[in-house]
Structures are given as C-alpha cells and as structure tokens.
C-alpha cells in the first residue's frame, strides 16, 4: 500500500500564469539598509539562530534576506490559486457618486476563503513550519482575520492552531472566534489566566480590554514552552511583509491591462503594516528602480496613530518584552489603545520595513477617526455593493477625503487597498447606522 501523501505535498495541477511565482523583497531596493533587529539582552544585532526557537528556519532566512525575489513554493501557489489573483475593480459607481473625473480602482482581498488578505502569509507560514516538522502554531489576533486565516492554513497543512484574541474583539466579534473553531483552531480571550504574562496583566488591570501587544506575549510564551510548537505573526516582521507583496505585484499588472501607466495615489489601511506593505511595496520598488511617481498614503486609526504621532526608535513588539527589539514607529509597547472596532489596527508599533519607508520619505501617513471611517465604509458599500472590513474603511476614508477635498486631478489613477470584507463585522457598523436613523428622526 502506497504511503499517504503529506499535507505539504504539491498536487501538481496547472496554476494560472497570473498567480505570482515570486514574492518581492523591498529590502533589496531601499537606498539605505533597514536597522537590524536587536537581541533585547545584549542589544547586539539579532542572529538568525536566535529566532529558531520561535520560527521555522525558512522563515528566519526570509526575515534576514536581502534578495529582491524569493520563489513561492508550488504547494503554496496551488492554495493561492483558489482565489489569486484577487480582482482589481474600477469603482465607476463610486466615481459617479462622488462626481469625480479621477479614476478609482480597488484591489479586493475579501475574496479569499477567510475573507481578507491574511491568508497570503498564513498559508506560507503554515507550509514552511509543516515541512520542518512543527506540529502546532500559536498566534495572536486583533479583529480575528489573522486568527481565522492561520487556523485555515493549519488545517490545510495538518497543524494544530492556538489563537489568543484581544479581549475587546473576542467579545464584540463572536463570529470570528466561531470561524477559527470551524477550521479546527482553539481561541482564547486575551489576556487569559493560562499564561504567566496573561495572569500578570489581569492582576494589574482586571478590566483591561486587551491589546495585540498583550496577546503576542501570551502566544510567544506558549510557543517557547511547548514541544514542536512555533509562533506565527500576522504582521510587523519582514517575512510577513514579503508574503503579502503578491497583492501589489498583481495590482501593477492589472493596472497595465486596464491601460494605466501607473497608479498616482495608493491608499492602504495600516496597523502592523501587512496589508499596506503588500499593496504598496511593489509600487515603491518601481518608484526606486524605474523613476515612477506613485504616492503611497498609509491610513491609520486616530486612536492608535503609530506613524503620525509615534517615535521612530527601538521598542518591543509585545507588552511583556519577550520579542526582539525592533526599530519602528511606536507609541510605546505598554500603550493600550482604546477599544475601537478596527481591532486589526490596534497595535502600538509599525512594521520596521514600513517604518523605514516612512522615515525615508517613501510613503505618507494620515490618521482618521472611527466615525469618519464607518461613514466612508457605508458610502462605499452603497456605491459598490461590498461592505468593507472595519480596517479597510480607513483606506476608503483616506481616498474619499482626498477626492472630496478637491485634491484629485482629472484622470488621476487612485488605488484603494480593500483588505477584507466586513460581513462578519456588521455589529461594528451599528453605531454609525444608529446615528443615521437618529438624523432622519431629527429632520
């Protein structure tokens, strides 16, 4: 009897040529190198082997890589092909609604099985861990999109998945927890009483709403103290930015097919940086290599404005100080953001690569308020039919403000990163809908 194929084996079916074959690494084109991660004890540049207890060796290699192109394994591309390339739509109804002669496009990642851009890295991380013998992954999640994506990826490649979801999101978004469990994952409301880090946080503040920094501490602690277990991060680190670049690589080719020479302005939501980097880095690469002039605008929540109000310095990625020190824009690792509905953007810091791009003037950042973002999300939904995820509404709001302010020129090409759909996040829209109902009663 033949041996049963491993979950990581490629199925060897034809993959559409439009599915990217390589990830793009902006590190190769930066005019100045990114500051190295530091060992928190010695304050010396981190060595690759120091990350082996947490991550697969292949992912660590990608974290330190300066190669421009890194090949995507066949087994990963086969999964990608279930929804990639994701569509780039011309938002003609939105243009008409706004009365603009600018051309608005949106790159829609909500077509993935999990409903967001997050599987682009989750699939890769689960694959590389599985082929090295890891049996379980732990992680954190804010809004639940990353947790659901990793749970799905782990199911596909035969791994266990344990997720620590920020308490405020766990309570307000029960369907995300159900989605993780449907894929076979385990989900906890963080901070918990099952880790030392969680217990300490709860003792200091029993009513805390939680934060991504807290959830990271718990997930890292479990990974370090469990056999054949690794930690998986859905944003911030270099290898996550790398995996997400399939978004921008596709968008560039899709714009060419639509007859556009380049994007003039790209708007993406920004929390830890994965969606923004995935969409923007290939455009920034073209700016640096080919002299193109695409402007990148990172749209972050005013409740957690790491790039617009934070400091560019070394800081921990978590509350307990278990991670390496990262050079990034940060509000401080002990900062606990207000309990906003865009849980995926409630991170105190920004990806070192995105931060470096910001520091070099390769992208701009703005902060937008919650009321403004949900109003923009509803306006978009009523024009285009897609209800954006709360995180994605920040990019929509940035683009709408740009057009409504009169800054957009006739014929200008605007691209919005619509990082996910908000069908499982509809309760988040209720406050905005209630305001609308009250306004009608007051008229």
How far apart, in whole angstroms, are the C-alpha atoms of residue 149 and residue 240?
A: 13
DSSP class of residue 38?
Answer: B
What is the model's pLDDT at position 425? 85
Task: Examine the pLDDT at 2 and tell me if it is beyond 60.
Answer: no
Q: What average pLDDT does the structure give for the chain?
A: 93
How far apart, in whole angstroms, are the C-alpha atoms of residue 363 and residue 329?
A: 13
User: Closest Cα partner for 180 from 145, 211, 231, 214?
Assistant: 145
What sign has the CA pseudo-torsion 80, 351, 189, 192?
A: positive
What is the distance in angstroms between the CA of the first residue and the CA of the last residue of the chain?
Answer: 76
What is the model's pLDDT at position 129? 97
What global pTM score does this model have?
Answer: 0.94
Task: Examine the pLDDT at 228 and tell me if it is beyond 80.
Answer: yes
User: Closest Cα partner for 165 from 218, 120, 206, 114?
Assistant: 218
Maximal CA-CA distance, the chain: 76
What is the model's pLDDT at position 4? 64
What is the average pLDDT across 52-56?
93
What is the model's pLDDT at position 191? 94
Task: Examine the pLDDT at 165 and tell me if it is beyond 80.
Answer: yes
What is the average pLDDT across 223-247?
95
Q: Would you place residue 439 in the very low, low, confident or very high pLDDT band (cuts 50, 70, 90)?
A: confident
How far apart, in whole angstroms, are the C-alpha atoms of residue 2 and residue 60?
A: 34
User: Closest Cα partner for 352 from 22, 51, 24, 30?
Assistant: 30
What is the model's pLDDT at position 149? 97
**Would you state the torsion angle of the CA atoms of residues 322, 325, 330, 333, taken in this order, to the nearest 10 degrees?**
20
What is the model's pLDDT at position 54? 92
From the candidate CATH numbers 3.40.50.1100, 1.10.760.10, 3.40.190.10, 3.40.50.2000, the one assigned to the domain spanning 77-115+239-432: 3.40.50.1100
Query: Taking the CA of residue 361 as centre, how many other CA atoms within 13 Å lie in the half-sphere pointing to its CB?
Result: 2
How far apart, in whole angstroms, are the C-alpha atoms of residue 246 and residue 252?
A: 10
328 φψ region: left (φ > 0), alpha (ψ -120 to 50), beta (else):
beta
Q: pLDDT digits over 312-368, tens only?
A: 999 988 777 778 999 999 999 887 766 555 545 667 899 999 999 999 999 999 999
Task: Examine the pLDDT at 276 and tell me if it is beyond 80.
Answer: yes
How far apart, in whole angstroms, are the C-alpha atoms of residue 292 and residue 48?
A: 35
What is the model's pLDDT at position 1? 42
DSSP class of residue 237?
Answer: S
Please answer whether residues 62 and 238 qualify as being in contact, where contact means their C-beta atoms are separated by less than 8 angstroms: yes
Calculate ∠ Cα 263-269-271, nearest 5°. Answer: 140
Identify the weakest region by mean pLDDT among 9-18, 260-269, 295-304, 372-381: 9-18
How far apart, in whole angstroms, are the C-alpha atoms of residue 89 and residue 436?
A: 28
Task: Examine the pLDDT at 126 and tell me if it is beyond 60.
Answer: yes
Task: Examine the pLDDT at 145 and tell me if it is beyond 50.
Answer: yes
What is the model's pLDDT at position 260? 98
The first and second tokens of residue 105, run together, are 């496009």
What is the average pLDDT across 26-49?
96
What is the model's pLDDT at position 250? 98
Chain CA centroid to CA 317, Å? 15
Percent of the chain with pLDDT over 90: 79
Q: pLDDT digits over 58-101, tens only?
A: 999 999 999 999 999 999 999 999 999 999 999 999 999 999 99
What is the model's pLDDT at position 172? 83
Identify the residue with better confidence: 220 or 335.
Answer: 220
Cis status, amide bond into 318, omega within 30 of 0: no
The first and second tokens of residue 153, run together, are 């990826």
User: Closest Cα partner for 283 from 299, 259, 264?
Assistant: 264
Task: Examine the pLDDT at 286 and tell me if it is beyond 90.
Answer: yes
Chain CA centroid to CA 274, Å? 3
How far apart, in whole angstroms, are the C-alpha atoms of residue 374 and residue 435?
A: 11
Identify the residue with better confidence: 427 or 400.
Answer: 400
What is the average pLDDT across 112-126?
97
**Which stretch of DSSP H or E encloses residue 299?**
strand 295-301
Q: Would you place residue 211 in the very low, low, confident or very high pLDDT band (cuts 50, 70, 90)?
A: confident
How far apart, in whole angstroms, are the C-alpha atoms of residue 263 and residue 251?
A: 9
How far apart, in whole angstroms, are the C-alpha atoms of residue 170 and residue 168?
A: 6
Residue with tokens 């034809």: 14
DSSP class of residue 421?
Answer: B
Q: pLDDT digits over 408-438, tens only?
A: 999 999 999 999 999 988 888 888 888 888 8
């Amino acid at each position: 009897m033949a041996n049963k194929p491993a979950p990581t084996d490629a199925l060897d079916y034809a993959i559409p040529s439009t599915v990217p074959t390589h990830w793009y690494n902006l590190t190769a084109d930066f005019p100045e190198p990114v500051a190295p991660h530091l060992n928190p004890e010695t304050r010396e540049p981190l060595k690759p082997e120091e990350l082996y207890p947490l991550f697969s060796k292949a992912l660590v290699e990608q974290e330190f890589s300066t190669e421009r192109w890194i090949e995507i394994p066949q087994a990963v591309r086969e999964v990608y092909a279930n929804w990639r390339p994701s569509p780039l739509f011309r938002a003609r109804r939105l243009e008409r609604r706004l009365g603009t002669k600018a051309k608005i496009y949106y790159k829609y990642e909500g077509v993935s099985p999990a409903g967001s851009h997050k599987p682009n890295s989750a699939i890769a991380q689960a694959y590389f861990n599985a082929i090295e013998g890891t049996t379980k992954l732990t992680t954190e999640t804010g809004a639940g999109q990353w947790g659901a994506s990793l749970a799905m990826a782990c199911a596909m490649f035969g791994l266990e998945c344990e997720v620590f979801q920020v308490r405020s999101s766990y309570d307000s978004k029960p369907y995300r927890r159900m989605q993780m469990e449907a894929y076979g994952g385990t989900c906890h409301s963080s901070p918990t009483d099952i880790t030392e880090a969680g217990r300490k946080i709860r003792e200091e503040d029993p009513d805390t709403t939680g934060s991504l920094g807290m959830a990271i501490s718990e997930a890292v602690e479990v990974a370090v103290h469990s056999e054949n277990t690794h930690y998986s991060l859905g944003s911030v680190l270099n290898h996550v930015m790398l995996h997400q670049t399939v978004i921008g690589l596709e968008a560039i080719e899709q714009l060419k097919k639509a007859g556009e020479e380049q994007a003039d302005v790209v708007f993406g939501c920004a929390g830890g940086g994965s969606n923004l980097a995935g969409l923007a880095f290939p455009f920034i690469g073209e700016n640096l290599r080919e002299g193109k002039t695409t402007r990148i605008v990172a749209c972050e929540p005013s409740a957690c404005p790491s790039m617009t109000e934070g400091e560019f310095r070394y800081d921990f990625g978590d509350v307990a100080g278990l991670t390496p020190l990262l050079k990034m824009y940060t509000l401080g690792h002990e900062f606990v953001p207000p309990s906003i509905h865009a849980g995926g953007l409630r991170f105190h810091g920004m990806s070192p690569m995105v931060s470096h791009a910001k520091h070099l003037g390769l992208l701009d950042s703005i902060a937008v308020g919650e009321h403004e973002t949900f109003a923009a999300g509803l306006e978009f939904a009523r024009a285009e039919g897609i209800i954006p995820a709360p995180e994605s509404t920040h990019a929509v709001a940035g683009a709408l403000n740009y057009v409504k302010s009169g800054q957009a020129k006739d014929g200008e090409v605007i691209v919005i990163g619509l990082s996910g759909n908000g069908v499982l996040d509809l309760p988040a829209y209720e406050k905005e809908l209630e305001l609308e109902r009250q306004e009608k009663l007051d008229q």
